[in-house]
A and B are shown apart, each in its own frame.
Chain A
Amino acid sequence: MKFRIYRYNPDVDAAPYMQDYDLDVEAGDKMLLDALLLIKEQDDSLSLRKSCREGVCGSDAMNINGRNGLACITPLSSLSEPVELRPLPGLPVIRDLIVDMTQFFKQYHSIKPYLINNDPPPETERLQSPEQRAHLNGLYECILCGCCTTACPSFWWNPDKFVGPAGLLQAYRFIADTRDQATSERLDDLEDPYRLFRCHTIMNCVDVCPKELNPTEAIGKIKDMMVKRMV
C-alpha cells in the first residue's frame, strides 16, 4: 500500500514536506495504526502518538485522507491510496504527526470540567436516578482526542477565544449533570460572542467524531438553556 506522510522535524527541516512510503501489507482487517507501526519499523524517525490502540485513549488522532480520525480504529481497507496522513489541522506541529494540544486543553479546562457542588459530601455517592443519568449519555463518552475541535474553522480562526466543540460538549456534560450546582455560572461563562457563539453550526465536529458524538446538538442545548433562562 502507498502512503504519503507529513514529515517535519523543526530541529532539522526548514519546512514540512510529504514523504512517500510503499508498504508491503495486506489490508485484511488491519487498522491504519498497524500500518503506521510497520512503517516505523522501516523508518524509526517517523513520530506519532499512540497508546491504547483501541479508540479509548485518543492519542493517535490525525488527519487521514483529509478527514480527522483515530488511526487505531480506521480500517486500512476503508482508505483510498495513496493514504495521505497529516497532523491534526490548526494546532502547532511538534514533529511529524504530533501536535501541541496545549490550546485545546486550555479551552477544555476553561469550562471547569468537574462537578461543582457545595453541599457537604454524603456518606455514600451523590445519587442520580436512571433518568437523570441518561442525560449524560452521548456526552461522557468523549475521549478528548481533538478530532472535532481541530476540524472546526471557528477554532482555527479563534483558538484563544472560541472553546471549540470538544470543550462545549463537556460544558454541556456538566450543565446536564443534576449533581452539579453551577449551571448559572457555567451559562454566564459561555454567554459571550466568542466562547460559544462562534459556533456557526457547520457540523464538521459531528462529521468527524470517532465516537459518533454530537457536539452541535450539545451546543444547541446550551443555547436552549440560555434562551430559557432569559425569557
Chain B
Amino acid sequence: MVNRVVVGAHYGLRDWMIQRITAVVMAVGSVALAGYLLLKGRFDYDVWTGLFASLPVRTFSLLFLLSLFYHAWVGIRDVVMDYVKSAAVRLVMHVLVILALILYAIWSVQILWGM
C-alpha cells in the first residue's frame, strides 16, 4: 500500500449529528433526574428503588446510557484519531473501545432489569 494521505470516509456528518442528539438526551435525563431528587427532598434507598421500579424510568435510563455510550464512542474515537498515528494500532483501539461499550450496554440492561 502506498503511503498517501487519505480522507473521505463518509461518516463525518452522521457522527457529528448523533453526538449532538445524544447530548440532548443526556441533558434532558440529567435535569429530569436532578429535578426529581430535588423535589423529593430526600435521597435514600426507598426513593431510589421506587424511582427505578417504574418501567418508563428504566426505559429512559437505558436510552440515557446508550446515548452516553455512543457519545463516548465518537469522542474517544476523535481522540484516538488525533493521537494514534498508526492505522493498525488505531483499528485495534477502536475495536477494543467498541467491544467495551457493547459490554457496558449489556451490563446496563442487566443492572436496570435486575438480572
Contacts and interface: CB of A to CB of B under 8 A. Distances in A.
A14 interface: no
B82 A195 contact: no
Given A160-B5, A161-B5, A161-B7, A193 B15 contact: yes
A189 B78 CA distance: 19
B13 interface: yes
A195 B12 contact: yes
A195 B7 contact: yes
A191 B10 contact: yes
Given A157-B82, A191-B10, A197 B16 contact: yes
B8 interface: yes
**Chain B interface main SS type:** helix
B5 A226 contact: no
A227 B15 contact: no
Interface residues of A, number: 18
A196 B7 CA distance: 11
Contacts of B10: 188, 191-192
Q: Which of B9, B10, B12, B82 has the most CB of A within 10 A?
A: B12
Contact of A193 (B5, B12, B17): B12
A192 B5 contact: no
A15 interface: no
A4 interface: no
A149 to B, nearest CB: 17
Q: Which of A157, A160, A197 has the most CB of B within 10 A?
A: A197
A94 B106 CA distance: 55
Range class of the B interface residue count:
10 to 19
Contacts of A192: 7-10, 12
**Chain A interface main SS type:** loop
Nearest to B15: A193
Interface string B68-88: 000000000010011000000
Interface in A139-159: 157-158
A86 B81 CA distance: 30
B94 to A, nearest CB: 12
B6 to A, nearest CB: 9
Contacts of B82: 157-158
16 contacts: A157-B82, A158-B82, A161-B7, A189-B8, A191-B10, A192-B8, A192-B9, A192-B10, A192-B12, A193-B11, A194-B7, A195-B8, A197-B13, A197-B15, A223-B16, A227-B13
Interface of B: 5, 7-17, 78, 81-82
